[in-house]
Amino acid sequence: MWEVMFWPIVACVLLPGLLVYLGLHVVQRGIIFIDIAMAQMASLGICLAVLLHLNLEGWTTFAIALGFTLAGAAIFSVTGKRASQIPQEAVIGISYVVAAAAAVLLLSRAAEGDEEIKNMLVGNILLVTPREVWERFTLFTAVGVLHFVLRKNFLLVSFDRDGAYQKGLRVRWWDFLFYVVFGLVVTSFVRIAGVLLVFSYLIVPAVCGINVAQRIANRLLIGWFIALLGGIAGLFLSYWWDLPSGAAIVCTFGALLILISLLALWKHRRGHSVEVQDSQ
């Protein structure tokens, strides 16, 4: 078992920490589907590389994918106005469907067969290689340090936008920086773990944290705990029952969220009834 599950477990221990933190930002900003939209933009870039007959492992392909991620970041930072009639989520949804449809169009003009491309865009956590884990760990650590150093402004822009504007921050540029870094993290994680898993790691632990705690630090700690528990439990279940690993982790997260919500509800009820008793 260890021989097969060792590197998936290492990946699920080392990598999701940053995703959980970014997830808190994303949930607070109410832009839940931005990860899928960003990943789809990057894969559109790769489809273009396929059409141009470039080497998919080469630097040019990486540069094109990065270019599309930057374009996505620019779109989302420009459209995230302070007060707009159109919700940001609508722009994100539109970007996703257009990028996905454009990829279909590009591939229909590309050379035959798309197994390799699909395989390259959407990874499988079961099959991560040590090199993939260390590359991403390095990138995620760098991003984590950047977020830690600039945490005041990043947090202000996500959690108190009015405050950020009042302080005279250039909110749009901060948004752009946030989205670029976010796009890099999400795209590189999708390539080893798939879309379902990246979405779950961003959103579920953050929602669990928000469900039971108020302070950001506490939410983050709870989120990390949930991410660790869900990831490792999901991998074990996937091994014991021989299930596709990514989907097993996602469903474990679903079950954990229900459990946490019931717990929060029960705590809330009990707190309420204690209050009632006190007042009598």
Partner 1 sequence: MKKTSLIFTAIVACACSAQAKLNVVATLPDSGSLAREIGGDKVNVTVLAKATEDPHFVDARPSFVVSLRNADVLIDGGAELEVGWLPPLLQNARNPKIEVGKPGRIQASEGVRLINVPANVTRAAGDVHALGNPHFTVDPIIAKAIAQHIAQSFSALDPANAAFYQGNYKKFEATINAKLQEWGAAMLSFKGQHVVAYHDSWPYFAHRFGISIDIFLEPKPGIPPSPSHLAEVIAQIKAQHIKAIIVEPFHDRRIAEKVASSTGAKVVEFSQFPGGLPGTDSYVKLIDTLVSRLAAALK
Which residues of this protein are in contact with partner 1, per CB under 8 A?
A: 3-5, 7, 50, 53, 104, 107-108, 111-116, 118-119, 124, 126-127, 129, 238-239, 242-245
Considering only CA atoms, which of 85, 74, 70, 90 is closest in space to residue 30? 90
User: Smallest distance from the beta carbon of 19 to partner 1, in angstroms?
Assistant: 22
User: Smallest distance from the beta carbon of 241 to partner 1, in angstroms?
Assistant: 9
Closer residue to partner 1 in complex, CB, 119/273: 119
User: Smallest distance from the beta carbon of 255 to partner 1, in angstroms?
Assistant: 19
Closer residue to partner 1 in complex, CB, 41/50: 50
User: Smallest distance from the beta carbon of 113 to partner 1, in angstroms?
Assistant: 3
Closer residue to partner 1 in complex, CB, 191/219: 191
| Residues contacting residue 77 through CB under 8 Å, at least 6 positions apart | 172, 173, 175, 176, 178, 179
Closer residue to partner 1 in complex, CB, 5/251: 5
